[in-house]
């Protein structure tokens, strides 16, 4: 094992070396009076110079005058000339020549330099070897970040809405703060709590709030931190993680994206020696194995609870699942207020209206909406965020950014107006459709035009609603058939959406009379934890043929329905297409007015659109 050197040794050594080299330059010397060369020659001619010594190579002259005064001077090149030698001889001046004084350090520097380089190289290699050894020895240590309890960065006050979720997590925090209160009545708080919800709903934010509220040790780690190329490293890190938690006494462990290590075992891709399975086995043993972990509560977050191993979800481990859903209208309003606290809002920026106009958006989407609105305000050189900025931001997020560089021909523009007009008219006329918000033929994102509806706050959907959705999706294709008599590729995305809805109606939701109350989910991929050998179709060929027939029939019926409705209201289709060609973007209320004016009397009372 190499010998270590202090960090200050090398700088001090260099300083001593430089100081020694410069010593002769800075050390004061008593060499006498400094004369110029001409003054020196004049003194020789006056017989004032008794003797002097010349240093070879530097032409440095030092000597003594007749009064005993010492002097120094510097001769010119090629000193002494023949005439000067004759002058010195004529005036009886004693001349002595000597070699320059030798500096022992300078003379030995050629020998010392290789040794200094070798010593420096050995020191560098020693430090490098110690660093590599430290990395190897610490590869099995947990990478969890420990947060100090007295410096909370996020609290429950920073989370808007989700009162039910707060209540369940607060119960765990209270248990860690006051365990006697629960033990008196014999209550046992769940050891593991799994936060489940779509991406962006704030699962990790809740964990950070627990770190700020708990007042106990908090260890945060992600599922990917356990995985390495070396087998057994993940299990070792799990053991080290729980050892750290036990040293803290009462502690909370937060594992983000636990599905990366908690997927179902037996996927047929590595057997029991798979690194991920070994890590999961060690976590199961630590959570509720032979040795219990009192005072340690585990929080985990995932948006794929269906792929987690059943042993991980049993009572005694993650025995409580807390659903963090997409926010409702009131919660969206509170979230918008939280993200707008440090923004300069204009008087017409109504957050309550924006909350109603953003159904289905998560907390992360709403934070992005406020930030995009601020960016639009800066582009307008505005001092505050106004309603138009929120509208532009919402359009950009939902519909995509405008493609200013794309220029459509007159024929393409008219075809797009007819296509979007078909969607818009059916949205207005269908009884179970969502509210029509806006129609545009300006290219946005990947689309040449967009028909935008605002879905209502609902949690269950009827068969009639999905049939209307399919009919509306077929509206663009049907309008092109009616007006042009042919088809183009613009309906590709519409057909994809309609087919997806029809397939789920028949296979999953039991909305087909021929298939009946039977459900078959889509095929799960092997990498999601399903066994490779058990993948296969769950129904016979006859059933598959019946399902295909039902899906095809449903799509054909709704396409014919769209053709019939638009054929009856050809006048409304022409009026809406003309308005789109003239204004490029028309709101839902104006579309509804044009449709019902063309009808003479409204067949369905149009719903109010914000």
Nearest to 218 by CA among 285, 167, 283, 151: 151
**Cα-based distances in Å from 581 to 268, 410, 480, 572:** 58, 10, 16, 14
Helix axes 410-429, 541-568, angle to 10 degrees: 100
> Per-residue DSSP letters for 457-478?
S-S---HHHHHHHHHHHTHHHH
Nearest to 395 by CA among 387, 384, 405, 383: 387
Per the structure block, which two tokens stand in for 199?
Answer: 């991406």
Q: Which long-range contacts (CB under 8 A, 24 or more apart) does 276-282 make?
A: 276/227, 276/234, 278/231, 278/232, 278/234, 278/235, 279/226, 279/227, 279/234, 279/235, 279/237, 279/238, 280/309, 280/312, 281/235, 282/234, 282/235, 282/238, 282/239
Rounded to 5°, angle at Cα 17 from 15 and 22: 95
Burial class (CB in 10 A: 0-12, 13-18, 19+), 3: exposed
DSSP-assigned beta bridge partners for residue 51: 64, 94
Consecutive H or E run containing 218: strand 217-222
Whether 258 contacts 302, CB under 8 Å: yes
Burial class (CB in 10 A: 0-12, 13-18, 19+), 63: buried
Per the structure block, which two tokens stand in for 441?
Answer: 């033929």
- Quote the CA–CA distance of 559 and 157 in Å, as a whole number: 51
- Quote the CA–CA distance of 88 and 417 in Å, as a whole number: 114
List phi, psi (to 5°) of 498.
-65, -40
**Other CB atoms within 10 A of residue 147 CB:** 19
- Quote the CA–CA distance of 500 and 6 in Å, as a whole number: 70
Nearest to 566 by CA among 493, 484, 495, 483: 483
The torsion of the CA quartet 157, 162, 168, 169, rounded to 10 degrees, works out to -40
- Quote the CA–CA distance of 231 and 244 in Å, as a whole number: 22
Whether 200 contacts 364, CB under 8 Å: yes
DSSP-assigned beta bridge partners for residue 256: 222, 301
Active-site residue set: 420
Beta strands in 446-542 (DSSP E): 450-454
- Quote the CA–CA distance of 175 and 187 in Å, as a whole number: 10
């Amino acid at each position: 094992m190499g010998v270590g050197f202090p960090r200050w040794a090398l700088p001090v050594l260099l300083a001593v070396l430089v100081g020694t080299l410069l010593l002769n330059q800075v050390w004061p010397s008593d060499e006498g009076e400094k004369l110029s060369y001409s003054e020196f020659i004049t003194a020789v001619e006056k017989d004032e110079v008794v003797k002097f010594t010349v240093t070879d190579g530097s032409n440095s002259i030092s000597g003594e005058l007749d009064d005993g005064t010492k002097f120094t001077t510097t001769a010119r090149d090629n000193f002494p000339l023949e005439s000067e030698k004759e002058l010195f001889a004529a005036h009886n001046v004693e001349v002595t020549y000597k070699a320059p004084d030798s500096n022992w350090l300078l003379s030995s520097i050629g020998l010392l330099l290789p040794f200094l380089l070798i010593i420096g190289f050995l020191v560098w290699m020693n430090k490098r070897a110690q660093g590599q050894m430290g990395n190897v020895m610490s590869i099995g240590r947990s990478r969890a970040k420990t947060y100090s309890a007295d410096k909370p960065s996020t609290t429950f006050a920073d989370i808007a809405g989700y009162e039910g979720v707060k209540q369940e997590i607060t119960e765990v925090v209270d248990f860690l703060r006051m365990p006697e209160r629960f033990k008196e009545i014999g209550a046992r708080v769940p050891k593991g709590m799994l936060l489940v919800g779509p991406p962006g709903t704030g699962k990790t934010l809740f964990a950070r709030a627990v770190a700020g509220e708990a007042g106990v040790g908090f260890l945060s780690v992600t599922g990917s931190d356990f995985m390495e190329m070396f087998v057994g490293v993940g299990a070792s890190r799990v053991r080290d993680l729980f050892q750290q938690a036990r040293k803290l006494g009462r502690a909370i462990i937060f594992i983000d994206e636990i599905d990366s290590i908690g997927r179902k075992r037996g996927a047929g891709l590595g057997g029991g020696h798979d690194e991920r399975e070994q890590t999961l086995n060690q976590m199961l043993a630590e959570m509720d194995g032979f040795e219990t972990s009192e005072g340690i509560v585990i929080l985990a977050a995932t948006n794929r609870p269906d792929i987690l191993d059943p042993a991980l979800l049993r009572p005694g481990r993650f025995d409580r699942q807390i659903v963090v859903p997409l926010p409702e209208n009131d919660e969206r309003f509170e979230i918008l207020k939280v993200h707008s606290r440090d923004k300069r809002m204009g008087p017409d920026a109504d957050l309550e209206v924006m909350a109603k106009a953003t159904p289905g958006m998560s907390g992360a989407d709403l934070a992005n909406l406020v930030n995009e609105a601020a960016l639009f305000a800066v582009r307008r050189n505005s001092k505050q965020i106004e309603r138009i900025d929120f509208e532009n931001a919402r359009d950009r997020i939902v519909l995509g950014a405008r493609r200013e560089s794309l220029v459509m021909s007159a024929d393409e523009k008219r075809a797009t107006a007819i296509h979007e007009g078909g969607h818009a008219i059916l949205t207005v006329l269908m009884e179970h459709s969502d509210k029509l918000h806006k129609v545009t033929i300006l290219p946005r994102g990947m689309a040449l035009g967009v028909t935008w509806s605002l879905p209502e706050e609902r949690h269950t959907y009827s068969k009639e609603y999905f049939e209307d959705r399919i009919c509306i999706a077929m509206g663009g294709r049907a309008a092109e058939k009616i007006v042009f008599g042919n088809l183009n590729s613009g309906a590709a995305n519409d057909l994809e959406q309609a087919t997806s809805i029809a397939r789920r109606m028949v296979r999953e939701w039991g909305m087909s009379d021929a298939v009946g109350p039977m459900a078959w989910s889509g095929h799960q991929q092997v990498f999601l934890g399903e066994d490779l050998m058990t993948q296969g179709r769950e129904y016979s060929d006859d059933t598959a043929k019946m399902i295909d027939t039902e899906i095809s029939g449903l799509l054909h019926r709704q396409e014919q329905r769209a053709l019939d409705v638009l054929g009856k209201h050809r006048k409304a289709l022409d009026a809406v297409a003309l308005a789109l060609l003239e204004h490029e973007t028309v709101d839902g209320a104006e579309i509804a007015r044009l449709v019902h004016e063309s009808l003479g009397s409204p067949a369905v009372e149009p719903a109010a659109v914000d």
